[in-house]
Chains A and B, each alone.
Chain A
Amino acid sequence: MTQTATATAKKTVHLIIERQDGPNSKPYTQEFLVDYVPGMNVIACLMAIQRNPVDKDGNPVAPVVWEMNCLEEVCGACMMVINGKPRQACSAIVDQLEQPIRLKPARTFPVVRDLIVDRSRMFDALKRVKAWIPIDGTYDLGPGPRMPEVDRQWAYELSRCFTCGACVEACPNVNERTSFIGPFAISQARLFNEHPTGKMHRQERLEALMGEGGIHECGNAQNCVQVCPKGIPLTTSIAAMNRQVNAYAIGSWLKK
């Protein structure tokens, strides 16, 4: 085989990336070709573009930026829209994707640059529902109550949420006309309400879910459960919290 024949026979990966230079600049798309490496993921493609930032036609461009940390689907940072679905770039294996691979930022969130989005609203939502267990005090409170094993098993599933935002991106009711906090926050409220020590602040979480952008904004489109990379039963969490919130609302009204 001649030199050129080997070059054309060499497998490449074709990517179409929606880019944006800054929070307020206009999006544009660029196409890239990177050398195929067996088993590579979308992150590896982005790294290849970073090493040699030229577009499909060989013109030099600014390298594409994205967020990543763990590279093993436990941090949630590399969530982006890949071939139309919000997912983690690290676990998006090129061999399993249709080409050209289309990458877009998750536009439910404000875009910082290229594929980087600002997910602050998720952390604000977690603060709103008090997704933690307050144990700080002026003296040692001793060990907390034990958790029944049957509950620990499903609660563990919920604890795997890494705040990636895929469920928020896919939800039709998270939009500029509503203030919905998003499916994950409801699931986290359920997780901490189930914990024997977390239960002590149950009311505050239920009050938050009755507040602005709370659980009533959910319209049961159930996209969240389809896209969650951790397979978290979000729709079960939402229904379970509907039960808790409604029972609490009716109960507290009758007590007043």
Chain B
Amino acid sequence: MAQMKPHTEYLLRRLHTLSGVIPVGLFLLEHLFTNATATKGAASFNNAVDAIQSIPLLPYIEFFFIFLPLVYHGVVGLYVAFTSGYNAGKYSWWRNVMFVLQRITGIITFVFIIYHTWTTRFSGKAPTFDMVHQLVSNPAYLWFMIIGVVAATFHFANGMWSFCVHWGITVGARAQRVTAYVSMLLFVVLAGIGIDAILAFTHSA
């Protein structure tokens, strides 16, 4: 990106951090909560899916508010992960380790999302409890889901911390320390909600 116009790179990078939260992060939250309805039974999940299906202009919303921003964030994220240096082996301070984990979980999430959407949204099958149940009946797929959810929620929670620094919201050392604890709490809670939902799909309807 070296030969770009003076501020292009700045703009692309700022759009990347913004897109991680709005809308991609917001979608992740929505997605986790929809899936959590599975813990209340198959009917509850199918109702939630029907409610989403009844949203007007859904294909456009999906494309412009989920698909495009996600592809943008993912592709630029891969570029960022590639250009970053990695020296946590030498300098193993906590934040530097988190910096590495942010990039590793980003890459895992990237691979996860491709296969996950391939087997669900783009599989041509109707999005029902039963469809997901079939998928997670395979132990390999179940583990794949769990790893993907842990990676994505870590990436989002730690990304929120980083977002607050990139946008000059948390400026002082104490503010950055406190939000780091909050983000890890967020990770544990979101990962728990996600895994709980996945396990709920293993029970037959």
CA distance A210 to B87 in the complex (A): 26
Q: Do residues B96 and A242 form an inter-chain contact, with CB atoms below 8 A?
A: no
- A to B contact number (C-beta, < 8 Å): 107
- Residue ID in chain B nearest A237 by CB atoms: B171
Q: Do residues A240 and B87 form an inter-chain contact, with CB atoms below 8 A?
A: no
Chain B nearest CB from A176 CB (Å) reads 9
CA distance A218 to B9 in the complex (A): 13
- The residues of B that contact A88 with a CB separation of less than 8 Å are none
CA distance A241 to B168 in the complex (A): 7
Q: Do residues B83 and A177 form an inter-chain contact, with CB atoms below 8 A?
A: yes
**Scoring A residues 215 to 228 as 1 if CB is less than 8 Å from chain B, else 0, what string do you get?**
11111111101110
Given A222-B96, A223-B96, A233-B173: A212 in contact with B166 (beta carbons within 8 A): no
Q: Do residues B99 and A236 form an inter-chain contact, with CB atoms below 8 A?
A: no
Q: Do residues B95 and A210 form an inter-chain contact, with CB atoms below 8 A?
A: no
Given A170-B87, A172-B85, A216-B10: A221 in contact with B99 (beta carbons within 8 A): yes
- Residue ID in chain A nearest B161 by CB atoms: A220
- The residues of A that contact B99 with a CB separation of less than 8 Å are 172, 219-222
Choose among A175, A216, A222 the residue that contacts B9 (Cβ–Cβ < 8 A). Answer: A216
B144 at the interface (CB under 8 A from A): no
Q: Do residues B165 and A220 form an inter-chain contact, with CB atoms below 8 A?
A: yes
Q: Do residues A172 and B7 form an inter-chain contact, with CB atoms below 8 A?
A: no
A251 at the interface (CB under 8 A from B): no
Q: Do residues A243 and B14 form an inter-chain contact, with CB atoms below 8 A?
A: no
Which of B80, B85, B90 lies at the interface centre, i.e. has the most chain A CB atoms within 10 A of its CB?
A: B85
Choose among A171, A211, A226, A239 the residue that contacts B165 (Cβ–Cβ < 8 A). Answer: A239
Given A178-B83, A219-B80, A223-B87: A246 in contact with B14 (beta carbons within 8 A): yes
Q: Do residues A223 and B84 form an inter-chain contact, with CB atoms below 8 A?
A: no
Q: Do residues A242 and B9 form an inter-chain contact, with CB atoms below 8 A?
A: no
Q: Do residues A174 and B85 form an inter-chain contact, with CB atoms below 8 A?
A: yes
How many residues of chain B are within 8 Å of chain A by beta carbon?
Answer: 35
- Residue ID in chain B nearest A250 by CB atoms: B14
Q: Do residues B168 and A235 form an inter-chain contact, with CB atoms below 8 A?
A: no
- Residue ID in chain A nearest B166 by CB atoms: A242
**Scoring B residues 79 to 113 as 1 if CB is less than 8 Å from chain A, else 0, what string do you get?**
01011111110110101100100100000000000
B31 at the interface (CB under 8 A from A): no
A84 at the interface (CB under 8 A from B): yes
B140 at the interface (CB under 8 A from A): no
A214 at the interface (CB under 8 A from B): yes
- The residues of B that contact A239 with a CB separation of less than 8 Å are 165, 168, 170-172, 176
- The residues of A that contact B9 with a CB separation of less than 8 Å are 212, 214, 216
B153 at the interface (CB under 8 A from A): no
- The residues of A that contact B173 with a CB separation of less than 8 Å are 225, 233, 235-236
B167 at the interface (CB under 8 A from A): yes
CA distance A225 to B176 in the complex (A): 13
Chain B nearest CB from A177 CB (Å) reads 4
Q: Do residues B95 and A220 form an inter-chain contact, with CB atoms below 8 A?
A: yes
Q: Do residues A175 and B85 form an inter-chain contact, with CB atoms below 8 A?
A: yes
CA distance A94 to B172 in the complex (A): 34
Q: Do residues B10 and A243 form an inter-chain contact, with CB atoms below 8 A?
A: no
B6 at the interface (CB under 8 A from A): yes
Choose among B11, B162, B167 the residue that contacts A243 (Cβ–Cβ < 8 A). Answer: B167
Given A175-B85, A239-B165: A226 in contact with B91 (beta carbons within 8 A): yes
Return 7 A-B CB contacts under 8 Å, by A number: A172-B86, A177-B85, A220-B95, A221-B96, A226-B91, A240-B168, A246-B168
Interchain residue pairs A-B with the least CB separation, the first 4: A243-B168, A172-B85, A221-B99, A216-B13
